[in-house]
Structure 1
Amino acid sequence: MRRVRYESTGGPLFLEEVPVPEPGPGELLVRCAAVGVTLPVVRKVTEAAEPIPLGGEIAGEVVAVGAGVTRFRAGDRVTGLCFGHGYADFAPLHEAMASPVPDGASAVDAVALVRSGLVALGALHAARPEPGEAALVTAAASGVGHLAVQLARARGASRVVGAVSDAAKADFVRGLGADETAVYGDDSWGDPVDYALDAVGGELLTPAIAALAPGGRLVAYSSGGGTIEAYDLLVGGKSVIGFQMARIARGKPELYEQWRQELWRLFAQGAVKPAVHGEFALEDAAGAHEVIESRRNLGKVVLRP
C-alpha cells in the first residue's frame, strides 16, 4: 500500500510503498476513503524535533478487526482519529476513537464534520452560551471555525461575528450564517460580544479580549500560545477558559459520544453543513499542507487516497 512520510523536520513529504498493517488488539483496519488535514499535524511536520507519523481524521470502510473488538466488523463505515500513519491507503484506528458514519453521509462529510465539529462544539460548550448572546469566532473560515460559526447560531446566538485573516474570506463566512465579519488588524471588531471562541492565539488574544463585553468569556483552544494581560481581564470582569479536546475524549467518553450524536443530528437536519476547500490526491499531500500553512483554506482540506 501507499503512505506519506517525511524524514526530517520541514522535509519534503513523499509516498512510499509498505505492507498493509495488521490491526492490533482493540484496533480496526480501515481502507481510507478520506483523510482530514489539520493545522496541528502541519505544524508538527515543520516544528517537531523528530519525524512523526502523519495521523489525523480518517474515514472509510473497516476491512479487518483486531482481538477484543466488539462494536464494529468488516464492512462497517467508520470515522475517527488515527494516532498512527493516517495518510495512507489503509490505517489502524482504535475502536474507542471510532464512530459509525450514518447512511446519507460520505467519507468526506465525516472527516470534515466529526473531529473539527467536536472541537468546535466542545469550545462552544466551554463558553456556557445563553440564548440571545452575541458570539465571536476567530479563524472563522477554518476547518473548525466554519463549523463553530454554524454551531453558535444553532445554540441560539443572536449575533455571530466571524474574524478572518483576509477580507477575501468575508463572503464565505457570511454564507455560513455570520452576521458580521472582522479582519485581523482592524481597529475595531464591532459591537462587543458575550463570548469568543479563539483558535488562533498569539497576538490575536489581545483584540479578542478587547472585543468582549463586561463579563465576557474567551475560550482558548489554539496551539498558537500567546500572553494575556491580567489587567485586561480585571477591568471588565472578563475570563479566559482553556479547552482541550483530548481531555474530554479520555476523561468523559460519554460526553464525547453525546457531542458526536449531536453533530450528526444537526447535519441530518441541515443546521450544520461542513464545507470542503479541496480534495487532494495522496501524492499531493504537500499541496494540501501548503493550503493550510498559507491560511488559504475555506473550510476543510481533505486527502482522497
Structure 2
Amino acid sequence: MRRVRYESTGGPLFLEEAPVPEPGPGELLVRCEAIGVTLPVVRKVAEAAEPVPLGGEIAGEVVGAGAGVGRFRVGHRVTGLCFGHGYAEYALLHEAMASPVPDTATAVDAVALVRSGLVALGALAAARPERGEAALITAAASGVGHLAVQLARVRGAGRVVGAVSDPAKADFVRSLGADDVVTYGEESWGDAVDYVLDGVGGDLLGPALAALGAGGRLVAYSSGGGTIRAYDLLVGAKSVVGFQMARIAREEPELYERWRQELWRLFAEGAVKPAVHGEFALEEAAEAHAAVEARGNRGKAVLHP
C-alpha cells in the first residue's frame, strides 16, 4: 500500500510503499476513502523532536478486524481518530474510537464533521452557553471553527461573531450564520460577548479575553499555548477553562457517544453542514499541510487515497 511519511522535523512529506498493517486486539483495518488534515498533526511535523506517524481522522470501509471486536464487521463504513499511520490507503482504528457512517453521508462528510464537530460541541458545552447570549469564535473558518459557528447558533446564541486571520474569509463565515466577522489585527472586536471559543491561542488570548464582557467565559481548546494575566481575569470577573477532546473520549464515553449522535442528527436535519476546503491526493499531502499551516483553509482539508 501507499502511505505518507517524513524523516526529520519539518522535513518534506513523501510517499512510500509499506505493508498493509495487521489489526491487533480491538482494532479495525480500514480501507481509507478520506483522511482529514488537522492543525495538531501539521504542527507535529514542524515541531516534534522526532518523526511521528501521521495520524488523524479517517473514514472508509472495514476490511478486517482483530480479536475482541464486537460492534463492527467487514463491510461496515466507519470514521474515527487514528493514532498510527493514517495518511495511507489502509489504516488501523481502535474500535473504541470508531463511529458508524450513515448511508446518507460520504466519507468526506464524515471526516469533515465528526472529529471537528466533537471538538466544537465540547468547547461549546464547556462555555455553558445560555440562550440569547453572544458568542465569539476564533479561527472561525477552520475545520473546527466553521462548525462551532453553526453549533453556537443551533444552541441558541443570540449573536455570533467570527474572528479570522484574513478578511477574505468574511463572506464564508457569514454564510455559516455569523452576524459579524472581525480580523485579528483590528483594534476592537466590537461589542462585548458572553463567551469565546478560542482555537488559536498564543498572542490571540489577550484580545480574546478583552472581547468578553463582565462575567464572560473563555474556552481554550487550541494547542497553540499562550499566557493570560490573572489581573485581566479579576477586573471583569472573567473565567478561562481548557477543553481537551481526548479526556472526554477516555473518561466519559457515554457523553462522547451522545455528542456523536447529536452531530449526525443535526447533519441529517441540515442544521449543520461541514465545509471542505479542498480534496487532495496522497501525493499532495504537503500542499494540504501548507494550506492548513497558513490558515488559508475554509473548512476541512481532506486527503483522498
TM-score relative to the length of structure 2: 1.00
Deviation of the 1:60 alpha carbon: 0.2
The one-letter amino acid paired with 2:221 is Y
- The one-letter code sitting in structure 2 at the alignment partner of 1:71 is R
SS of aligned partner of 1:119: helix
1:107 aligns with 2:107: yes
Whole-Å separation in 1 of the counterparts to 2:241 and 2:82: 27
Indicate the percent of aligned positions where both proteins have the same amino acid. Answer: 83
Tell me what 1:250 maps to: 250
State yes or no: 1:172 paired with 2:164: no
Mapped to 2, the partners of 1:195 and 1:293 lie a distance apart of 26
Amino acid at match of 1:264: W
Q: Superposed, which structure 2 residues align to 1:285-300 within 5 Å?
A: 285-300=285-300
> How far apart, CA to CA, are the structure 2 residues paired with 1:21 and 1:229?
48
User: Which residue type is aligned with residue 99 of structure 2?
Assistant: S
Find the counterpart in structure 1 of residue 128 from structure 2. 128
Q: Distance in 2 between matches of 1:293 and 1:64?
A: 34
Aligned residue in 2 for 1:190 = 190
Which amino acid in 2 is paired with 1:75? G
Deviation at 1:19, TM superposition (A): 1.1
Q: Distance in 1 between matches of 2:293 and 2:273?
A: 24
Look up the SS of the partner of 1:60 in the other structure: strand
Unaligned runs of 5+ in 2: none
Distance 1:224 1:89 in 2: 30
Residue number in structure 2 paired with 1:284: 284
User: What SS is found at the alignment partner of 2:218?
Assistant: strand
Question: SS at the partner of 2:205?
Answer: helix
Question: How much has 1:178 moved relative to structure 2?
Answer: 0.1
Deviation at 1:58, TM superposition (A): 0.1
Residue in 2 aligned with 1:207?
207
| CA distance in structure 2 between the partners assigned to 1:164 and 1:124 by the alignment | 18
Query: How much does 1:103 deviate?
Result: 1.3
Residues 1:84 and 2:106 aligned together: no
Q: Report matched runs for 1:225-264 at 5 Å.
A: 225-264=225-264
- Secondary structure in 1 matching 2:257: helix
TM-superposition CA deviations, 1:56-96 (whole Å, max 9, x none)? 00000000110000000000000000000000000000000
* Partners of 1:161 and 1:19 in 2: CA distance: 47
Deviation at 1:231, TM superposition (A): 1.0
**SS of match in other structure, 2:24:** coil
Task: Tell me how far 1:294 sits from its aligned partner.
Answer: 1.1
Question: For residues 20 and 246 of structure 1, what CA distance do their matches in structure 2 show?
Answer: 27
2:236 and 2:271 mapped to 1: Cα distance?
Answer: 34
**Where in structure 1 are there 5+ consecutive unaligned residues?**
none
Moved over 3 A (4+): none
Kindly state the Cα deviation for residue 185 of structure 1 after the two structures are TM-superposed: 1.2
Q: Which residue of 2 aligns with 1:149?
A: 149
SS at match of 2:174: helix
TM-score by length of 1: 1.00
Q: CA deviation at 1:202?
A: 0.8
Describe the superposition over 1:156-195 as per-residue Cα deviations: whole angstroms up to 9, x where unpaired: 0000000000100000000000000010010111110000
- Residue in 2 that maps onto 1:58: 58
Q: Which amino acid aligns with 2:16?
A: E
Which residue does the alignment assign to 2:274? 274
Cα separation, 2, equivalents of 1:68 and 1:210: 51
Give the distance between the partners of 1:223 and 1:104, measured in 2 at CA: 33
Q: What do residues 208-241 of structure 1 show as CA deviations (whole Å, max 9, x unaligned)?
A: 1111010000000011111101111111100001
The aligned counterpart of 2:36 is 36
Distance across 2 between alignment mates of 1:267 and 1:280 = 24
Tell me the matched-pair count: 305
* SS of residue in 2 equivalent to 1:71: coil
Distance of 2:18 and 2:242 partners within structure 1:
40
